[in-house]
Amino acid sequence: MVESIANKITSFLISNKAIEEKESELYSYAFSILIAFLINISAILIIAYSLNLFKETILFLLCYCPIRQFTGGYHADNYKRCLLAFMLLYIVNICFVEFVFYYKLDYLILFEMIMSYIGICFLAPLEHRNNPLSKKELKIFKRVAVVLSSIVVFLVWIGIRYNNAYKFIYYVASSIICIFIMLIIGIIKQEFGGRV
């Protein structure tokens, strides 16, 4: 479905001479990625709205999405699996954060965040099999991933001091944990030849 829509958009642009036919593959791929991203984000926001966690989810996504672009990690084999994996990750994340919030287990989420941050610093970036990076790109991606993750960790340490911001801070902290989980799953998938 995603590829079909992307191909139709690309064909429309070619027929209106907005792009050249020799660029069709690139545009079709870019539109596929954009459409899949919009579907994923929309699904997560619908879940968040239905659970009355819209603001928390916006904060989570604002931290998660930019860092994830530079860390890499698990990538599903198709767009349906990608959507399902992201929704599953997010629902498990909600359960974890709500559990931590309900029982006031600050130390647990802070410990998990710090361990995940250290893991990101060591493991990122994890290359996608279809998009290998040069040595220069690997260094840049690592630097950006560490800087963005460091900013998030710093914001959590500042925000945890304010009682009225706890729940929001838990969701921000959980973004680092989720990114690390995606890195670990990506490494496992690579080790088992893409069968995970």
- For the stretch 18-43, pLDDT in tens is 778 888 788 888 888 889 899 999 99
Q: Is 196 domain-assigned?
A: no
Same domain, 167 and 136: yes
Structure tokens, 188: 């496992």
Same domain, 125 and 68: yes
Q: Helices marked H in 72-165 — which ranges?
A: 79-102, 106-123, 135-159
Same domain, 105 and 165: yes
Strand, coil or helix: 84: helix
Same domain, 15 and 90: no
- pTM for this model (two decimals): 0.89
Same domain, 85 and 165: yes
- For the stretch 53-69, pLDDT in tens is 999 999 999 999 999 99
Same domain, 19 and 114: no
